[in-house]
């Protein structure tokens, strides 16, 4: 870690803390190195080296790990992420949230996911966008409130069609998928996720 005018260099502090944060979240989720490697498309050896502080990940690798661990990239690079129990997010200060889903754009409206159990975003879902061919299953809950357009969800093999003003709240340990069925209309929703520790 470098020193500038007697103070620890901020970039050095962030780099030094990356591996520990990756290891902490991986262990919280009960994931082995190999399981995380499979989810992220990054070798287990590389993840081990990152966790041990022997390798600085590229931004691409960090984004892959963030998506696989369901954390925004900012969680790993913000050294003060756990310092404040109150976060005020103004409309112009919303930060993008990393997602692996094509056609889905998320703008965060809650505090850092590593600090809080609840995460929320304004979601913009492009026409025809979908979660993918395979249902998702993971611990926690989600609450979706549709503002504009249409969304379809399948949860536990049951289909739900959302119109503006509708909401869907479900446990994510049930197999679930979503899609925007409209070919021309973008959907907008408030999308909340609650995770277990």
Does residue 134 or residue 111 have the better pLDDT? 134
pLDDT in tens, 41-75: 999 999 999 988 888 888 889 989 988 888 878 77
Does residue 91 or residue 122 have the better pLDDT? 122
Q: Report pLDDT for 6.
A: 38
Task: Note the helical H segments in the chain.
Answer: 10-28, 33-40, 44-51, 59-68, 73-77
Q: pTM value? A: 0.63
Contact 108, 102 (CB under 8 A): no
Is residue 10 scored above 70 in pLDDT?
Answer: no
Is residue 2 scored above 50 in pLDDT?
Answer: no
Is residue 142 scored above 80 in pLDDT?
Answer: yes
pLDDT in tens, 179-195: 999 999 999 999 999 87
Collapse the DSSP code of 15 into the 3-class scheme (helix H, G, I; strand E, B; otherwise coil) and give the result. helix
Domains, the chain, ordered by start? 3-77 (1.10.260.40), 91-194 (2.60.120.10)
Is residue 91 scored above 80 in pLDDT?
Answer: yes
| CA pair distance 96, 99, nearest whole angstrom | 9
- The dihedral built from the CA positions of residue 46, 51, 56 and 58, taken in this order, carries a sign that is positive
| CA pair distance 102, 180, nearest whole angstrom | 12
| CA pair distance 166, 79, nearest whole angstrom | 38
pLDDT in tens, 108-118: 898 766 667 88
Is residue 119 scored above 80 in pLDDT?
Answer: yes
Length of the chain: 197
| Strand 167-171 relative to strand 141-148, pairing | antiparallel
Indicate the range of 1-5, 101-105, 128-132 predicted with least confidence. Answer: 1-5
Q: What is the per-residue DSSP string for 26-41?
A: HHHTT--HHHHHHHHT
Task: Count other C-beta atoms under 10 Å from residue 196's C-beta.
Answer: 12
Percent of the chain scored above 70 by pLDDT?
A: 86
Is residue 86 scored above 90 in pLDDT?
Answer: no
4 pLDDT tier (thresholds 50, 70, 90): very low
Residues 20-37: what's their mean pLDDT? 87
- The dihedral built from the CA positions of residue 19, 47, 137 and 107, taken in this order, carries a sign that is positive
């Amino acid at each position: 870690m470098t020193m500038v005018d007697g103070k620890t260099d901020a970039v050095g502090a962030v780099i030094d803390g990356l591996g520990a944060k990756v290891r902490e979240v991986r262990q919280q989720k009960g994931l082995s190195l190999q399981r995380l490697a499979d989810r992220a498309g990054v070798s287990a050896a590389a993840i081990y080296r990152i966790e041990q502080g022997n390798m600085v990940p590229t931004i691409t690798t960090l984004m892959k790990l963030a998506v696989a661990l369901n954390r925004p990239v900012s969680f790993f690079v913000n050294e003060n992420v756990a310092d404040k129990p109150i976060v005020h997010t103004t409309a112009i200060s919303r930060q993008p949230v990393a997602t692996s889903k094509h056609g889905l754009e998320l703008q965060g409206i809650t505090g850092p996911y590593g600090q809080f159990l609840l995460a929320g975003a304004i979601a913009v879902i492009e026409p025809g966008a979908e979660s993918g061919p395979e249902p998702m299953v993971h611990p926690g809950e989600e609450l979706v409130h549709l503002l504009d357009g249409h969304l379809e969800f399948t949860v536990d093999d049951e289909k739900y069609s959302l119109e503006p003003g509708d909401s869907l709240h479900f446990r994510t340990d049930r197999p679930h998928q979503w899609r925007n069925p409209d070919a021309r209309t973008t959907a907008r929703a408030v999308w909340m996720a609650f995770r277990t520790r």
